[in-house]
């Protein structure tokens, strides 16, 4: 049976299985997503959006999709992921399912962390309003595939005007079950006036070929504030697609950090929907790739209404035979006058075999706007290297100092200490 055929069989089994459980709307969403997925299947090599990252073909060829419909959380939490002891709200997700008993209780008035299934029972109206409403199944086949099989996942809600001081960490592990396809999904709602810091931490190392297909939908309410961090530091065997959509309401503030340190192929689609006036958005990205790693960051900042500000800085260091792709789209819709949108992508290639394909893409339909973009790609500066060495600093240390200086402006903006220090250390390990 071909891959799509297999997927169809699993899909039918899943729908059958979930028959009678809560959430008719969700059921419909799954069906719509499934149809969207099967209409085109995995992205082809000539697909504009996946032209430089042929992950669709690889995945179709490599994996057999047998575990698709039945995520099982098998982690016993014995092998603790990094930061497990940080002062934070912890959520452990294994193979796409939150680990039983691991969800923090007693989170207090302002914070609710539960499963999507529970949420479908307790908050059907919120689920209907948000689930699948931000991450459009017609826009990306991986979003469609994820949505078609969505039935587990995490639901986080920060209530109106609540300020959650401690960061909320979503730890994604892929335990002992040996599943080779892991679909993870969550819905995060930051209500009006609320503040939260959320970390998605993908750090398990299994050294086994597997495909991780992740979707995060985040709604940031009016005057709400979100600091959002994504850390991708798994092993070099993982194929990872991440679709994250952040929708911002009026006067809200959101800041994202996407840090990629490991993986075989990593494709990130980060999509900001600026749906109302006077929002502020910062997108920071850092990728340090080595070996055969292929890192692709596609970002979209969609300015829909006036007076919104966005600023994007992505920086990459590419070593050995690694490849980088950066595609940054900025849309300024006809109503979005007085938009300020900036973008920059800077890269350092450490070898002749490393490469980067970078493309800014500005589509501006309003006239009173201020937008700029720029990208640079270069080697380490020989003059600077010589200067440091001429003062007695050895070559490898001098190199590390310069690379560190290159990424420092972004790194220093991460003001959660344990996260900052971990990334710093992991990066140094690779650069020294």
Partner 1 sequence: MLSVKNLHAGIEGQAILKGIDLEVKPGEVHAIMGPNGSGKSTFASVLAGREEYEVTEGEVTFLGKNLLEMAPEDRAREGLFLAFQYPVEIAGVSTTNFLRTAVNQIREYRGQEPLDAVRFLKHIKEKLALVEMDPKLLSRSLNEGFSGGEKKKNEIFQMAVLEPKLAILDETDSGLDIDALRIVAKGVNKLKSPDNATILVTHYQRLLDYIVPDYVHVLYKGRIVKSGGKDLALELEERGYDWIKEEVAAG
Sign of the alpha-carbon dihedral angle for 142, 261, 302, 220: positive
Q: How far is the CB of 343 from partner 1 (least distance, A)?
A: 20
State yes or no: residue 413 binds partner 1 (CB under 8 A).
no
Give least dist CB 391 to partner 1, A. Answer: 4
Q: Which of the ranges 45-53, 117-125, 302-310, 394-402 carries the binding residues for partner 1, by CB under 8 A?
A: 394-402
Q: Which two tokens stand for residue 348?
A: 């350092």
Task: Choose between 4 and 402: whose C-beta lies nearer to partner 1.
Answer: 402
Q: Between helices 395-411 and 417-431, what is the axis angle to 10°?
A: 150
What lies within 8 Å, CB to CB, of 394 at 6+ separation is none
Other CB atoms closer than 10 Å to residue 121's CB: what's the count?
A: 13
Of 33 and 411, CB closest to partner 1:
411
Q: Please spell the DSSP secondary structure of 347-370, one letter per residue.
A: EEE-SSS-EEEEEEEEEE--SS-E
Shortest Cβ 151–partner 1 spacing (Å): 47
Q: Bridge-partner residues for 188, per DSSP?
A: 156, 218
Residue 314's SS3 state is: strand
Looking at the Cβ atoms of 15 and 344, the one nearer to partner 1 is 344
Hunting for tokens 């050895």 — which residue is that? 394
Count the site residues for partner 1 by CB under 8 A.
23
Please identify which residue in 28, 80, 397, 429 interacts with partner 1, judged by CB under 8 A: 397
Work out whether 382 is an interface residue with partner 1 (CB under 8 A). Answer: yes
Among 8, 384, 413, 420, binds partner 1 (CB under 8 A): 384
Q: Could you tell me if 252 and 224 are in contact, meaning their C-beta atoms sit under 8 angstroms apart?
A: yes
Cβ-based nearer residue to partner 1, 211 or 406: 406
Is 365 one of the binding residues for partner 1 (CB under 8 A)? no
17, 149 contact by CB (below 8 A): no
- Choice from 100, 395, 429, 432 touching partner 1 (CB under 8 A): 395
Select from 34, 257, 406, 422 the one that contacts partner 1 (CB under 8 A): 406
408 forms part of the interface with partner 1 (CB under 8 A): yes
The string of DSSP codes covering 197-263 is: EEEEEE-----S-EEEEEEEEEEE-TT-EEEEEEEE---TTEEEEEEEEEEE-TT-EEEEEEEE---
Q: How far is the CB of 245 from partner 1 (least distance, A)?
A: 32
Q: Work out whether 387 is an interface residue with partner 1 (CB under 8 A).
A: yes
- CA-angle at 99, arms to 205 and 82, nearest 5°: 40
Interface residue with partner 1 among 205, 222, 375, 402 (CB under 8 A) is 402
Interface segment toward partner 1; rule CB under 8 A; list 25-33, 166-174, 343-351, 398-406: 398-406
Distance CA 361, CA 331 (A): 8
- Taking the least distance from each CB to partner 1, the nearer of 220 and 259 is 259
For partner 1, the binding residue among 311, 393, 413, 424 (CB under 8 A) is 393
C-alpha to C-alpha distances, 208 to 234, 238, 357, 431, nearest whole angstrom: 11, 7, 28, 25
Tokens linked to 335: 């109503």
Question: According to the binding rule CB under 8 A, does residue 4 interact with partner 1?
Answer: no
For residue 180 the two structure tokens come to 């080779």
Q: What is the DSSP pairing of strand 97-98 with strand 89-94?
A: antiparallel
Name the segment binding partner 1 (CB under 8 A); options: 126-134, 290-298, 306-314, 381-389. Answer: 381-389
Which one of 6, 138, 373, 389 is in contact with partner 1 (CB under 8 A)?
389
Determine contact, residues 375/405, Cβ cutoff 8 Å. no
The region of 51-59, 98-106, 339-347, 403-411 touching partner 1 under the rule CB under 8 A is: 403-411
Q: Which of 178, 370, 379, 386 binds partner 1 (CB under 8 A)?
A: 386
Residue 111: both structure tokens together? 């914070």
* 401 lies in the site for partner 1, by CB under 8 A: yes
Choices 17-25, 308-316, 377-385, 416-424 (CB under 8 A): range interacting with partner 1: 377-385
Task: Based on the shown chain and the rule CB under 8 A, indicate whether residue 383 belongs to the binding site for partner 1.
Answer: yes
CA–CA distance, 83 with 101 (Å, rounded to integer): 18
Nearer to partner 1, 125 or 383 (CB): 383
Chain positions contacting partner 1, by CB under 8 A: 381-384, 386-395, 397-398, 401-402, 404-406, 408-409
């Amino acid at each position: 049976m071909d891959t799509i055929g297999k997927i169809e069989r699993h899909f039918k089994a899943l729908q059958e299985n979930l028959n009678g459980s809560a959430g008719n709307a969700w059921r419909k969403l799954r069906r719509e997503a499934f149809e969207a997925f099967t209409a085109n299947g995995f992205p082809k090599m000539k697909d504009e959006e996946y032209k430089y990252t042929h992950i669709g073909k690889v995945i179709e060829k490599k994996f057999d999709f047998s575990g698709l419909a039945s995520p099982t959380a098998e982690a016993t939490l014995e092998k603790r992921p990094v930061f497990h002891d940080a002062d934070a709200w912890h959520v452990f997700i294994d193979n796409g399912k939150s680990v039983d008993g691991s969800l923090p209780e007693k989170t207090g008035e302002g914070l609710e962390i539960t499963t999507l299934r529970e949420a479908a029972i307790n908050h059907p109206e919120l689920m209907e309003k948000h689930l699948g409403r931000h991450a459009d199944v017609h826009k990306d086949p991986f979003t469609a595939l994820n949505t078609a099989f969505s039935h587990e996942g995490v639901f986080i809600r920060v209530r109106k005007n609540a300020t959650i001081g401690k960061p909320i960490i979503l730890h994604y592990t892929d335990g002992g079950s040996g599943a080779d396809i892991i679909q993870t999904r969550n819905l995060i709602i930051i209500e009006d006036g609320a503040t939260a810091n959320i970390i998605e931490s993908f750090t398990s190392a299994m050294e086994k070929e597997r495909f991780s297909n992740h979707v995060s939908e985040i709604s940031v309410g009016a005057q709400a504030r979100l600091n959002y961090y994504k850390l991708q530091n798994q092993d070099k065997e993982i194929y990872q697609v991440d679709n994250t959509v952040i929708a911002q309401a009026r006067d809200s503030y959101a800041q994202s950090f996407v840090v990629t340190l490991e993986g075989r192929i990593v494709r990130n689609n980060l999509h900001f929907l600026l749906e109302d006036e006077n929002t502020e958005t910062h997108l920071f990205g850092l990728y340090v790739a080595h070996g055969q790693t292929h890192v692709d960051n596609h970002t979209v900042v969609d300015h829909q209404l006036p007076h919104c500000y966005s600023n994007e800085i992505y920086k990459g260091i590419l070593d050995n035979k690694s490849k980088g792709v950066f595609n940054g789209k900025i849309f300024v819709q006809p109503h979005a006058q007085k938009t300020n949108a900036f973008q920059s992508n800077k890269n350092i290639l450490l070898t002749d075999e490393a490469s980067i394909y970078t493309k800014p893409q500005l589509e501006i339909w309003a006239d009173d706007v201020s937008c700029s973009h720029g990208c640079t790609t270069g080697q380490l500066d020989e003059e600077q290297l010589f200067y440091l060495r001429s003062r007695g600093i050895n070559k490898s240390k001098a190199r590390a100092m310069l690379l560190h200086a290159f990424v420092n402006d972004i790194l220093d903006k991460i003001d959660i200490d344990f996260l900052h220090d971990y990334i710093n250390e992991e990066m140094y390990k690779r650069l020294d």
